[in-house]
Amino acid sequence: MALCLKQIAISGGTGFVGRALLTRLAVSQRIAVTAWVRAIPSQPLVTIQYLKQNVLESDDLLQGMMADLDVVIHAAARVHIMQDTSTDPLNDFRRVNVEGSLNLARHAANAGVRRFVFISSIKVNGECTKLGDSFSADDAPSPLDSYGVSKMEAENGLRDIAADTGMEVVIIRPPLVYGPGVKANFQTMMRWLSRGVPLPLGAINNKRSLVALDNLVDLIVTCIDHPAATNQTFLVSDGEDLSTTQLLRRMGQAMGKPARLIPVPPALLKAGAALVGKPELAQRLCGSLQVDISKTRELLGWSPPISVDEGLRRAAEGFRREAAV
């Protein structure tokens, strides 16, 4: 879809999703893009205006920063981490993901911003699905951790702001996002594969939805100006669900490092994880989490532009580049 906007601002412009989104939008000749960041990057994109501002925790300059904007894309957040050391994680998530997001949205609405695109999380739906079942965008929320609760509360507050002010709100809930520069568990998986480490994950028959970074960015760009996106919630994925075993094998192929997988029964993996106090790890490895993107396809006429294998290839290229530095 052709972009016909004058001004777009993106929070979290130095984050994993924000950087990729800025790179995509930087080549546009029809819009001006501003990145709101905590620190100016050492290698900024030449066509992007960077503003150093903590948009999540401070009111300073916010109203002035909104002047003449058409769209705000809110990608900044306090993200979910596996070993959170906070004494009150829910309060910390609420302060940034709820209070910060709603404060930003209120300023946007007051300044006449037309559309607010919020990057949420599939954790609003829940943590797992039965094999063969899938979450849909209009399911009743069922978050189970503090991060998911904070994203749900932010979504609810944004819908209230939209109803009160007329500012359009678009919500996107991605599952696990992977691509060049990915960190956390996905990076650890690639590191294991690159080293040829034998993994006891050769007999897992679950199904999980993932989304390549480029596919997520493409949907966000689609939602900037698509009329059917107004006040809607969308799920996103690559359109092909994989088991943990399939993911490892295809990631290994993308890296040129065939996966060395040992077929250990999932019940033993779950028991072992419980013994070492990490049952959530077994859930991620052995459980299913599938999303239904039919609403996204039908309302927006959108399909993932790249395949799972192409997404994995790009992630592998990024891993090799980082390893070479």
Looking at 147, 178, 186, 302, which residue is catalytic?
147
Please count the CA atoms within 13 angstroms of the CA of 185 that sit on its side-chain side.
14
Dmax over Cα atoms in the chain, in whole Å? 59
* Token pair recorded at residue 91: 């309060």
* Token pair recorded at residue 221: 């760009």
Please count the CA atoms within 13 angstroms of the CA of 149 that sit on its side-chain side.
10
3-state helix, strand, coil in the chain (%, to 5): 45, 15, 40
Q: Is 147 a catalytic residue?
A: yes
Count other Cβ atoms within 10 Å, centred on residue 238: 24
Contacts of 62 (CB under 8 A, 6+ apart): 53, 55, 103, 104, 107
How many residues appear in the chain? Answer: 325
Contacts of 92 (CB under 8 A, 6+ apart): 78, 86, 146
Q: Which residues are catalytic?
A: 147
